[in-house]
Structure 1
Amino acid sequence: MKQIYFIALFFFATILLPSKILAQCEDITVENITNPGPYEVATLTEADGIRNGPDYLSATIYYPTNATPPFASIAIVPGFTALPSSVQEWGPFYASHGIVAIIIGTNSVFDLPEARAMALIDALETVRQENFRNTSPLEDKLDIDKFAVSGWSMGGGGSQRAAVIDSTIKGVVALCPWLPNPSLNHESPVLIFSGQNDSTAPPAEHADLHYNATPNSTDKLLFEVANGNHSVANTPNGGNGVVGKIALSWLKLYVDEDDCYCPLLTDFLLVDPPAASKVLSSFECELLGLPENSFATIVYPNPTKNSVNVNIQNPTQYTVYNTLGQKLFSGILHQNEKQIDFSNFNKGVYYVRMENETLKIIRN
């Protein structure tokens, strides 16, 4: 089922309560999703005592050493004939942003997607056991209800299949996935990256079909990187870094359940992105408890390209906020001036607060 995000609740709180809540989202910006992130990273291997899972071959766990637990986790598997090094850069990237990542190999480099799905599920069990191993630096620091999976090529197809097999998986990041005739009836929010010029897993034969095969009731996003090849999403630097920013935002939103990241996607990263040749999505940030047409005040046109007209009768003060609850500007509407001008702002979602109402404005 689609999630109803709590942006409106957050928005009202930033107006009616002290600025403490606003501070929670102030530092969550596109510019701050850097590679690497703010946290220091360490690793664990089987030599350090982590479990040797039967459904995969070797593993490295990347974890933050100075972030505040509990941590969400993600398991990542490479593609056909590929080694863990092919997707290794994702490990320290996620960990440096507070997400534990386990990168695994496969028992055979020729394993097909279904075997890679089982390998991912087995890897999550290894992470789960670290939460209870009394000599592990991750003991009691993991949220074992916040697990995600990812993979490249056949590993990407395997990550989708893992979500079908294990309904407790909270998110999927499929990197140029390869899986013909996909059966993907699951509810795990899925992000699919593809490369426009991928000759190994052409989007029309794989990624696009995966998106269509995932139920419309499941939150999903497909981001096709312009001129990208089959390995364009193997690192967070793909698409001039936008691949990492979108993947991290997706996991923070759906696995870490941090709603501050939803407007980063809807209002910034996915608005006419220069790195994309195609974007398909079926998810949204919605106002909580404010159904359409529930306002006494009417604004039109909405969406707008420039200004909106407001049907007020008496002089009314208004304030405009962005989706992070930050004040942009304010003014007074009266009989001779009933317009609010958005022409100097980027495309996206804005909120107008006037009297006891909050109105959502879309500039396109």
Structure 2
Amino acid sequence: MHPTSHPHTAQRAAHRTPRTTRRRLAGAAAAVTAVVGLSTLTSPGAQAADNPYERGPAPTNASIEALRGSYSVSETTVSSLSVTGFGGGTIYYPSSTSDGTFGAIAVAPGFTAYQSSMAWLGPRLASQGFVVFTIDTNTTLDQPASRGDQLLAALDYLTERSSVRTRIDSSRLGVMGHSMGGGGTLEAAKDRPAIQAAIPLTPWNTDKTWPEVRTPTLVVGADGDTIAPVATHAEPFYTSLPSSTDRAYLELNSATHFSPNSSNTTIAKYSISWLKRFIDNDTRYEQFLCPIPRASLTIAEYRGNCPHNG
């Protein structure tokens, strides 16, 4: 046997290894461990494996307040003659398919209004990684319950018949609406609990209580609303939601009933965060919702449960 291969000889050789060499080896091993650990924590692949629905880069205040997100957007018009159950509309969607499928949102206008009144939300939300369908109703005089049914019909069309159906994950859907469309948003969430996010904007409804809703819901009111005053609409809608449901109440400062009808950074910022958090399960957006946002020049009041359950 070779002398250095004998166990006792090997032990003696180990004891003769200079301390500085042993320290260098230990330090190198620690450095390798640290680098491997850091790459595991920061690897996009590791994050994607944790949440396959994540879309787009890590968000910042600037990215969710921007007029456009990271996705380029295409759109297609849907004629009322080609659908049943609602009045057609416009679909806005990320142009690229390289990131796979996206969650989808149907958006309803208010009493006497058309989809054009909500058109600003289409490209703004789609550019953040959603398929967005701004719809016309069967008639401009349709009441909230009818608008809720029409939102559901629009979602069914999107996922089953539309030209972009293969771009949509049908298990990740949301609803939004303004005024009576906001009241319809609550109706849709009540009727279809599988919906993953609802955002009624300055909502109007004769039904003031919504204990049946299980969908994470962000109610947006306006402090200067004289058509659907928050005291008789948005606030009781919010407080009647079950405490077990993820819910929030955002009251816009120096705003009116029609504030959701034009580009609004505060509405966009919190809508994007809410939709990302609950449709995409993207906890990167939790930072904008919890802790509760403070009152500011644009926020009169914000209430909600934190941390979120979903």
If the TM-score is normalised by the length of the shorter chain, which range does it land in? 0.7 to 0.9
Taking the aligned partners of 1:14 and 1:187, their CA distance within structure 2 comes to: 39
Taking the aligned partners of 2:259 and 2:112, their CA distance within structure 1 comes to: 17
1:276 CA displacement: 1.0
Which amino acid in 2 is paired with 1:161? E
Instruction: Assess if the C-alpha contact under 8 Å between 1:221 and 1:283 holds in 2.
Output: no
Q: Which residue of 2 aligns with 1:37?
A: 69
1:118 to 2:129 alignment:
no
**Which of 41, 46, 58 does residue 88 from structure 2 map onto?**
58
Q: Which residue of 2 aligns with 1:156?
A: 182
After superposition, the C-alpha distances for 1:23-48 in whole angstroms (9 at most, x for unaligned) are 8797311111221112111112236x
Taking the aligned partners of 1:14 and 1:94, their CA distance within structure 2 comes to: 35
Instruction: Assess if the C-alpha contact under 8 Å between 1:193 and 1:233 holds in 2.
Output: no
Q: Secondary structure at 1:168's aligned position in 2? A: coil
- CA gap 1:103/1:19 in 2 versus in 1, 3 angstroms: same
Taking the aligned partners of 1:152 and 1:107, their CA distance within structure 2 comes to: 16
Q: Secondary structure at 2:206's aligned position in 1? A: coil
TM-score, scaled to structure 2: 0.79
Q: Secondary structure at 1:151's aligned position in 2? A: strand
Q: Which residue of 2 aligns with 1:215?
A: 242
Instruction: Assess if the C-alpha contact under 8 Å between 2:106 and 2:174 holds in 1.
Output: yes
After superposition, the C-alpha distances for 1:197-234 in whole angstroms (9 at most, x for unaligned) are 00010000100010011111111111101111001123
Q: Which residue of 1 aligns with 2:269?
A: 245
**Which of 272, 281, 284 does residue 257 from structure 1 map onto?**
281
1:230 to 2:257 alignment:
yes
1:167 CA displacement: 1.3
After superposition, the C-alpha distances for 1:241-274 in whole angstroms (9 at most, x for unaligned) are 121010000000001111110012224x813443
Q: Secondary structure at 1:28's aligned position in 2? A: coil
Taking the aligned partners of 2:131 and 2:75, their CA distance within structure 1 comes to: 10
Tell me whether 90-99 or 15-24 shows the greater mean CA deviation: 15-24
1:274 to 2:297 alignment:
yes
Q: Which residue of 2 aligns with 1:172?
A: 198
RMSD: 2.5
Q: Percent identity?
A: 29
Q: Secondary structure at 1:150's aligned position in 2? A: strand
Taking the aligned partners of 2:174 and 2:94, their CA distance within structure 1 comes to: 17
1:60 CA displacement: 1.0
Runs of 4+ in structure 1 off by over 6 angstroms are 13-16, 22-26
Taking the aligned partners of 1:243 and 1:272, their CA distance within structure 2 comes to: 14
Instruction: Assess if the C-alpha contact under 8 Å between 2:198 and 2:215 holds in 1.
Output: yes
Instruction: Assess if the C-alpha contact under 8 Å between 1:191 and 1:250 holds in 2.
Output: yes
1:141 CA displacement: 2.0
Taking the aligned partners of 1:70 and 1:56, their CA distance within structure 2 comes to: 24
1:282 CA displacement: 2.0
1:182 to 2:182 alignment:
no
Q: Secondary structure at 1:144's aligned position in 2? A: strand
Q: Which runs of 5+ in 1 are unaligned?
A: 1-12, 287-364
Taking the aligned partners of 1:195 and 1:35, their CA distance within structure 2 comes to: 21
Taking the aligned partners of 2:147 and 2:47, their CA distance within structure 1 comes to: 41
Q: Secondary structure at 1:215's aligned position in 2? A: coil
Which amino acid in 2 is paired with 1:280? R
1:140 CA displacement: 2.6
- CA gap 1:164/1:14 in 2 versus in 1, 3 angstroms: farther
1:53 CA displacement: 3.0
Which amino acid in 2 is paired with 1:188? T
Instruction: Assess if the C-alpha contact under 8 Å between 1:175 and 1:234 holds in 2.
Output: no
1:76-95 paired onto structure 2 within 5 Å: 76-95=107-126
Q: How many equivalent residue pairs?
A: 264
Structure showing greater Rg: 2
Taking the aligned partners of 1:192 and 1:58, their CA distance within structure 2 comes to: 25
Instruction: Assess if the C-alpha contact under 8 Å between 2:105 and 2:131 holds in 1.
Output: yes
Select the structure that is richer in strand.
1
